[in-house]
Structure 1
Amino acid sequence: MPLLQWPRTGQNARVLNVNDSIHIRPIKDAEYPSLWAMLEPVFRAGDTYAIDPAISRADALDWWCKGTHRAFVATVEDKVLGSYYICPNQQGGGAHVCNCGFVTDAAAQGRGIARAMLLHALETARAAGFRAMQFNCVVESNTRAVALWQSHGFDVVGRLPGAFHHPKLGYVDALVMYRQL
């Protein structure tokens, strides 16, 4: 059964204006440098994503934007301040549940960018035919993300003891967070 009807990309893509200043739309190839400028410090820090901290620029951008992932950017006055991707969490019988990843420019944190992207992701997921959204590996020490997801109806449905090796805190729990759409 075909489930996903992805939002249009290119010139006719749907743009969501979350408020008067935050605009969310599909990423353009020309914005890859801005995306990498956000992803690189996050991936290199190694404290929130289960990604090799030494990942190359090309591999990181391919992972975020290609394959089954659909990537979006959040802009304010045409400056990219955040990005998220959405994709099926599994194939086959699990393809009705989506997964997302989010990144916000460090200088823009606390300005509602992540919340706006989450709201857009929830709307995009529903429009694409997903029935639920799942975050597979939310690092417990990433308290801002945990609080944001919980404030929008995500439940912790699993705790993986010591499943994430944090560079400063050692082995910390990873949370599986889930929400029906």
Structure 2
Amino acid sequence: MIIKKADIELDYDGVWEIFSDVIAGEDVFSFEPNTPKADLKKLWFADNMDTFVAVDNLGKVVGSYYVKPNQPGLGSHVANAGYMVHPEEKGKGIGRLLCEHSIDFARAKGYLGMQFNIVVSTNESAVKLWKSCGFSIIGTTPQGFRHQSLGLVDTYIMYKSL
């Protein structure tokens, strides 16, 4: 598997396959489950994002992430990132590899920290992974997410100094 800078022309459909499946679950991302494919460009490939894909040895996109400034202007020294792994590839360490790659990339690009603004508290595997990658919970938004089966659940703000 390699992690490479995404090419919007070559990787769009592979990322969409992952994105559309992940958001359909309605329990880990705040994107609307019926988000149209055309919106992927602004949500995952926007001009202010550096987007990467993980590609297996057969050329299949098995994961993706983006890094962007968490805030514009005077907050742009802190990165924000989002990650998705193909549902058929979960549990293979791809999320960890994407996170480690993104940390190295963000550090090399000059970011001083990385912040996740909304980590769903019931997504225990993600919370555990981010903690194991050095992120800490620095805040909680009570009932910040409408979970499809659990109703309103808390979300975490997680941060790591780079």
Q: Do they fold alike, i.e. is TM over 0.5? A: yes
Q: Give the counterpart letter for 1:23 in structure 2.
A: I
Contact 1:36 1:61 in 2 (8 A): no
Q: What corresponds to 1:44 in structure 2?
A: 24
User: What is the alpha-carbon distance in structure 2 between the residues aligned to residue 31 and residue 128 of structure 1?
Assistant: 23
1:43 Cα shift? 1.3
TM-score, normalising length from structure 2?
0.96
Distance, in Å, in 2 between the alignment partners of 1:119 and 1:41 is 24
Opposite residue 6 of structure 2, the aligned amino acid is I
Cα root mean square deviation, aligned: 0.9
What is the 5 A alignment of 1:1-181? 22-28=1-7, 29-77=9-57, 78-181=59-162
- Between the aligned partners of 2:123 and 2:24, the Cα distance in structure 1 is 15
Unmatched 5+ stretches in structure 1: 1-21
Whole-angstrom distance in 2 between the partners of 1:71 and 1:97: 17
- Structure 1 residue identity aligned to 2:15: L
> Identity across aligned pairs (percent)?
38
CA distance, structure 1, for counterparts of residue 72 and residue 149 of structure 2: 34
Determine if contact 1:71/1:84 at 8 Å carries over to the other structure. Answer: yes
Per-residue deviation, 1:60: 2.2
Inter-partner Cα distance in structure 1 for 2:151 and 2:97:
32
Q: Measure how far apart 1:61 and its partner are.
A: 3.2
Shift of 1:62: 2.6
Q: Is the 8 A contact 1:68 1:87 kept in 2?
A: yes
Aligned partner of 1:56: which letter?
P
SS at match of 1:149: helix
Question: Which deviations, in whole Å up to 9, do the C-alpha atoms of 1:48-81 show, x marking residues without a partner?
Answer: 1111222110102331012211110011102210
In the TM superposition, residue 33 of structure 1 has moved relative to its aligned partner by: 0.8
d(CA) in 2 for partners of 1:149 and 1:30?
29
Equivalents in 1 of 2:74, 2:123: separation in Å? 30
What TM-score do the two structures reach when normalised by structure 1? 0.86
